[in-house]
Amino acid sequence: MQDTIATESLLKTILHQPDRWALFLDIDGTLLNLAATPDAIEVPAGLPEQLNRLSRKLGGALALVTGRSLAYADTLFQPFSFPTAGLHGAELRDGNGLQPAEATPAFQALKHALTIEAENYPGVLIEDKGAAVAAHYRLAPDYEKLLEKRMMFYAEQAGPGWALQLGKMVFELRPARSSKGDALERFLQSAPFRGRAPVALGDDLTDESMFAVANARGGVSVRIGTVDAPTCAQARLSSPALVRNVITSMAN
């Protein structure tokens, strides 16, 4: 795996052939620092504009690929609306328009039951994402094993349309029909991404599927942060701050 310094240099060379590459960016833990709660993340001043400038240099071939909802991602980087895959790829907005994801009435009832139950677990935070729901235990790590069992129960209740997704201090029920890797494949079928090699940046287990696609497509995969688990990423950057520094350098 390439180290941070080599990865910085590699990413900056993308602009030597901007028509060859497409850039795919996770948000939490990659573009933005992780926070104690989902709503506590901060978007540094100037980052949306830097992303927009870089997108223009790449001919629009820059997309966000996130576990957040697409609508929430838009609020983070307003006034810009980048091509985005939300809910780990279940939602997607590209040149062909918007492919939404909707919660069934049964899943709405399940989210309500989970929210009520979580009141018994101080520090566990339930994030309602519409067609997905996440149980965060960063503030209550002692509940990890119990929460995993309970989320497995809710996954069984939800049925085959939803899958249990593990992440950093979070268990999430998301639509089962898609992944971040699937999202990359769909982006690469439409302009301006078609015919380009993907460069994928992410920090978590949920990003491994898009790393695999980037590798298979002759692109570049970059794991952000400390690599403390097996990964198929080819390279690493040590922190979101360094990712933002590289983006600023490329944008300017």
**Per-residue 3-state assignment (H helix, E strand, C coil) for the chain:** CECHHHHHHHHHHHHHCCCCEEEEECCECCCECCCCCHHHCCCCCCHHHHHHHHHHHCCCCEEEECCCCHHHHHHHCCCCCCCEEEHHHCEEEECCEEECCCCCHHHHHHHHHHHHHHCCCCCCEEEECCCCEEEECCCCHHHHHHHHHHHHHHHHHHCCCEEEEEECCEEEEEECCCCHHHHHHHHCCCCCCCCCEEEEEECCHHHHHHHHHHHHCCCEEEEECCCCCCCCCCEEECCHHHHHHHHHHHHC
Mean pLDDT of 160-187: 94
Residue in 3, 19, 26, 142 annotated catalytic = 26
Query: Using one digit for the tens of pLDDT, what is the confidence trace for 69-118?
Result: 999 999 999 999 999 999 999 999 998 888 899 999 999 999 999 999 99
The answer to whether 26 is a known catalytic residue is yes
Fold of 4-99+178-251: Rossmann fold (3.40.50)
Mean pLDDT of 209-236: 92
Domains 4-99+178-251 and 105-175 share a fold: no
Q: Which residue has the higher pLDDT, 7 or 2?
A: 7
Averaged confidence pLDDT in the chain: 94
Query: Using one digit for the tens of pLDDT, what is the confidence trace for 36-62?
Result: 898 899 999 999 999 999 999 999 999
What CATH code would you report for 105-175?
Answer: 3.30.70.1020
* pLDDT value of residue 33: 96
**Domain positions in the chain:** 4-99+178-251, 105-175
* pLDDT value of residue 2: 66
pTM: 0.92
